[in-house]
Structure 1
Amino acid sequence: MKVTVYNLKREQVGELDLSDEVFGTEVKEHLFYEVVKAQLASRRSGTKATKERSAVAGSTKKLYRQKGTGRARQGSIRAPHHAGGGMAHALEPKDWSYRPPRKVRIGALKSALSLFAKEGRLIVLDSLEVSEIKTKAIAATLTTLQADRKSLVVDTAGNDKLVKSLRNLENHQYLPPEGVNVYDLLRHDHLIVSRDAAKALEARCLR
C-alpha cells in the first residue's frame, strides 16, 4: 500500500510503499484483548504480603512447661492466636505476568497498525528531526499536523531533541520502533512515524 509522506508543516513531499501484510491486514480486535490483558497483568506489582509465624519477631522459647500448669499447651509466642504473632495462611507475593504466543503478539500489533492506517490516523513524516529542544515548538508542530490531542510519536533511537521536547507533554508519548506496543497504540488518537521508523516497524512485524 502507498501512503502519503508529509514534512513537519504537513506539506506532501512524496509517497512510501508499506507492506499490506503489516499496515493493511484484517483488524482482529479479539487479539487486542489478549495482548493488552497480558501487558496490564505483567505491570501488576504482586508484592502484597503478610508475615507468618516464622517471619515475625519473638522468642522461640516454649512459654511454659507442657504439663502441670492447668493451662492450654503453648509452643511459641509467635503463634497466630497470640497478640503480635504471625498470620495464619499468610499472603505471599505473586507474579501475575504471562506472555502470549508470538503469533498472537505480532498479529495484534499488525491489526493495531492497520487500524490506524484504515482510519486515517497514521501520519508518516519524511523526518522528525527538530532544530532545538523546545516543548512549545513541538506542540505547535503537532497542531500543524492535526494531531494535537493524543499522539504516539515514533522515530528511530538517538533523536534526543525530539525525546526531550516531547517528554513534558502530558498527552503525547515518544517510543522507538522496537518499543511500540498494542496498549500504547490503542490509547492514542494518532500515530506519527518517520519514514525510517515506519520501515523499522514493518521489518519488526515481518521477521
Structure 2
Amino acid sequence: MKMVVKTLGAADAGEIELNADVFGQPARADILHRVVTWQLEKRRGTARGAQERSDVSRTGKKFGKQKGGGTARHGNRAAPQFIGGGKAHGPRVRDFNPSLNKKVRALGLKIALSVKAAEGKLIVVDNLALDAAKTKGLLGTLQGLGISSGLFIDGTAVDVNFALASRNIHKVDVLPAIGANVYDILNHDHLVLTRAAVEQLEARFNG
C-alpha cells in the first residue's frame, strides 16, 4: 500500500510503500484489549504487605491475673491494638507481573498501526528536524498538518529540537521507534511516522 510522504510544512515529499503485513491487518478489538490491559498492569508496582500477628515477634505471656487486676484480660502483645503488634487484616504482597505471548504483543502493535492507517489518521513525514526548539512555531506546524492530538515516532533517536519544542504541548508525544506501543498509539488521534520509523518498524517484525 502506497502513502504520500509529507514534510512538517505539509508539502509533498514523495511516496512510500507500506508493508501490508504491518499496516494492513484487519481490526481486532480483542487483541488490542489484551495488549492494552497487559501494558497497564505492567506499569503497576509491587503492592507491599504488612506484618500480621504471625509475623511479629512479641511475647505471648499473659499480662496478669484473669480477674481482679482492673484491666482487660489480654494474653498476647502481638494483638493489633498494641504498639508493635501485628496489623489486623493487613494488605498482602501482590505482584502485578502478567505474561503475554510475544506473538500476541507483536500482532497487537501491527493491528494498532493498521487501525490508524485504515481510519486515515496515519501520517508519514520525511523527518522531524526543526531549525529551533520553539513551541510556538511547532504549534503552527501542527495546525497546518491538522493535528491536535498526535503521537510522533522517529527512527533510532528523536530530533532534539522537536522533543524540546513539543514537551509542553498537551496531547502531543514523541517516541523513538523502539518505544512504539499499542497504548500510546490508541491514546492519540493521529499517528505520525517518519521514513526512518517506518523502516525500523517493518524491520522489527520481519527481522
Specify the TM-score bucket, using the shorter chain as the normaliser.
0.7 to 0.9
Q: Equivalent residue for 1:150?
A: 149
1:93 & 1:70 partners in 2: Cα distance?
37
1:190 & 1:178 partners in 2: Cα distance?
19
Query: Structure 1 residue 176 and structure 2 residue 176: aligned?
Result: yes
What are the Cα deviations for residues 154-187 of structure 1, in whole angstroms up to 9, with x where unaligned? 1121421111111111211111111010000111
Conserved? CA contact 2:59–2:78, under 8 Å: no
1:54 & 1:166 partners in 2: Cα distance?
53
Q: Equivalent residue for 1:6?
A: 6
1:99 & 1:204 partners in 2: Cα distance?
21
Aligned positions, number: 200
Match of 1:69 among 61, 65, 69: 65
AA aligned to 2:153 is V
Q: Equivalent residue for 1:60?
A: 58
Q: Equivalent residue for 2:70?
A: none
Q: Equivalent residue for 2:187?
A: 187
What TM-score do you get using the length of structure 1 for normalisation?
Answer: 0.87
Segments of 5+ residues of structure 1 without an aligned counterpart are none
Conserved? CA contact 2:31–2:108, under 8 Å: yes
What TM-score do you get using the length of structure 2 for normalisation?
Answer: 0.87
The Cα RMSD (Å) is 2.2
Conserved? CA contact 1:29–1:111, under 8 Å: no
1:34 & 1:158 partners in 2: Cα distance?
29
2:149 & 2:113 partners in 1: Cα distance?
16
